[in-house]
Amino acid sequence: MTQVLIYVTDREHLATVNSLYAEYVREPYPNRAAIIVSGFAREEMLVEMVAYATLEVDV
């Protein structure tokens, strides 16, 4: 991964997100940003993560 964008609806969710992130993401750590938003398209969603990665492909 090269970048992770994390969107949460409540600042209090960040502690849980950080714990899970530390459990699954390893070095080298990607660039990361956490953004607090007022809501998502689906009302039941509390967190959204967008991850970008690069692949090496022989052409």
Peptide bond into 30 cis (omega under 30): no
- The pLDDT value recorded for residue 59 is 83
Residue-range domain boundaries for the chain = 3-52
Q: Please give the Cα distance from 31 to 16 (Å, whole number).
A: 19
Look at residue 39 in the predicted model and tell me its pLDDT: 96
The Cα 25–Cα 50 span in angstroms is 14
What confidence score (pLDDT) does residue 23 get? Answer: 97
pLDDT digits (tens, 9 = 90+) for 6-59: 999 999 999 999 999 999 999 999 999 999 999 999 999 999 999 999 999 988
pLDDT computed for residue 27 by the predictor: 94
Tell me the fold of 3-52: 60s Ribosomal Protein L30; Chain: A; (3.30.1330)
**9 Cβ neighbours under 8 A, 6+ residues apart:** 36, 37, 38, 39, 40, 45, 46, 47
